[in-house]
């Protein structure tokens, strides 16, 4: 496993593999790796000849400077974890390497980025699109692997690939959870012991809503989830929206769509956690 920090080193490797006709699988990360990331790496290894992992905390997708400052970083630990997997290359660039000049590109995702995360984190998805488009251009992967925990991000990236006519297959991978149900996230390590104890209520409540929803309206289901979470100590739902899984637009009735997903963001103290559940 090699570690490179520059585009030139990366592209020299990529060009050699491309010349051999090898299928390149790519897992972009911001580091602070956990089992969720490693499940993506494992899937990439099963579906590709070569696995490339990027580790880069992208500043343009943080609308909160404090969030960027406190985001966990431990490259040595990340490398150690990846050594157990069939990863050929780690790309760990500096901010200057990724952004030698200010990236002023603005992306139009229609209504996909106007709701949920996009509503509460203005500019976030434009920053995601900036870095992912750069990484796709540098790595030129045949397949790229993303977790379904970031449900809205996955929809945005799929639209990005369509809009830019990129020849990469975007593969969504299931949410990986802790034994108590909490969706794995790099932010989990920022939780205090008390917050960590309460955080599994998020997944538990989403699961309970699957049994609550039959015979209830969409609004009643939303109210149930929000109230249950807010009644738990130190948890506060920022939003819970039940949406069409393709358009991400809110549904008013269960028969409005054949693909319905509930997406949530919750503050556990100052730590913001997201999760989702599929109703149908």
Where along the chain do its domains lie? 2-173, 186-275
CA dihedral 173, 179, 184, 189 (to 10 degrees): -160
Tens of pLDDT, residue by residue over 106-147, are: 999 999 999 999 999 999 999 999 999 999 999 999 999 999
Name the residue with tokens 């794995």. 184
Which of the four pLDDT bands, split at 50, 70 and 90, describes residue 233? confident
Share of the chain above pLDDT 90, in %: 96
Looking at residue 63, its pLDDT comes to: 86
What per-residue string of b and e applies to 128-144 under the rule 16 or more CB within 10 Å gives b?
bbbbbbbbbebbbbbbb
Residues designated catalytic: 37
Identify the CA nearest to 68 among candidates 268, 274, 276, 272. Answer: 272
**Range scoring the smallest mean pLDDT among 65-74, 120-129, 210-219, 230-239:** 65-74
Q: CB of 174 within 8 A of CB of 151?
A: no
pLDDT in tens, 148-193: 999 999 999 999 999 999 999 999 999 999 999 999 999 999 999 9
Spatial separation of the C-alpha atoms in residues 71 and 189, rounded to whole Å: 10
For the segment 214-231, the average pLDDT, to the nearest whole number, is: 98
Q: How far apart are CA 64 and CA 53, in angstroms?
A: 26
Q: pTM above the 0.85 mark?
A: yes
Identify the CATH number of the domain defined by range 2-173.
Answer: 3.40.50.620
The hierarchical CATH code for the domain 186-275 is 3.30.1300.10
Question: What is the three-class DSSP state of 116?
Answer: coil
> Please, what is the average pLDDT of the chain?
96
């Amino acid at each position: 496993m090699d570690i490179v920090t520059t585009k030139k080193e990366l592209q020299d490797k990529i060009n050699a593999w491309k010349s051999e006709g090898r299928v390149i699988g790519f897992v972009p990360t911001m580091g602070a790796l956990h089992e969720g990331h490693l499940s993506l790496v494992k899937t990439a290894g099963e579906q590709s000849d070569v696995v490339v992992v990027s580790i880069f905390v992208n500043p343009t997708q943080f609308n909160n400077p404090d969030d960027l400052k406190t985001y966990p970083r431990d490259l040595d630990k990340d490398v150690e974890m990846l050594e157990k997997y069939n990863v050929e290359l780690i790309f760990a660039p500096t901010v200057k390497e990724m952004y030698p000049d200010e990236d002023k590109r603005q992306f139009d995702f229609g209504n996909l980025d106007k709701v949920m995360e996009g509503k509460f984190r203005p500019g976030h998805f434009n920053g995601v699109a900036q870095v992912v488009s750069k990484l796709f251009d540098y790595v030129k992967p045949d397949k790229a692997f993303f977790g379904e925990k970031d449900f809205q991000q996955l929809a945005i990236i799929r639209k990005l690939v369509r809009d830019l006519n990129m020849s990469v297959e975007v593969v969504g991978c299931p949410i990986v959870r802790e034994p108590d149900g909490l969706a794995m996230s790099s932010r989990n390590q920022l939780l205090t012991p008390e917050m960590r104890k309460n955080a599994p209520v998020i997944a538990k409540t989403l699961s309970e809503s699957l049994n609550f929803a039959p015979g209830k309206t969409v609004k009643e289901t939303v109210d149930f989830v929000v109230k249950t979470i807010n009644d738990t100590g130190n948890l506060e739902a920022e939003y819970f929206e039940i949406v069409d899984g393709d358009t991400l637009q809110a549904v008013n009735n269960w028969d409005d769509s054949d693909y319905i997903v509930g997406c949530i963001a919750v503050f556990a103290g100052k730590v913001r956690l997201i999760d989702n559940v599929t109703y149908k």
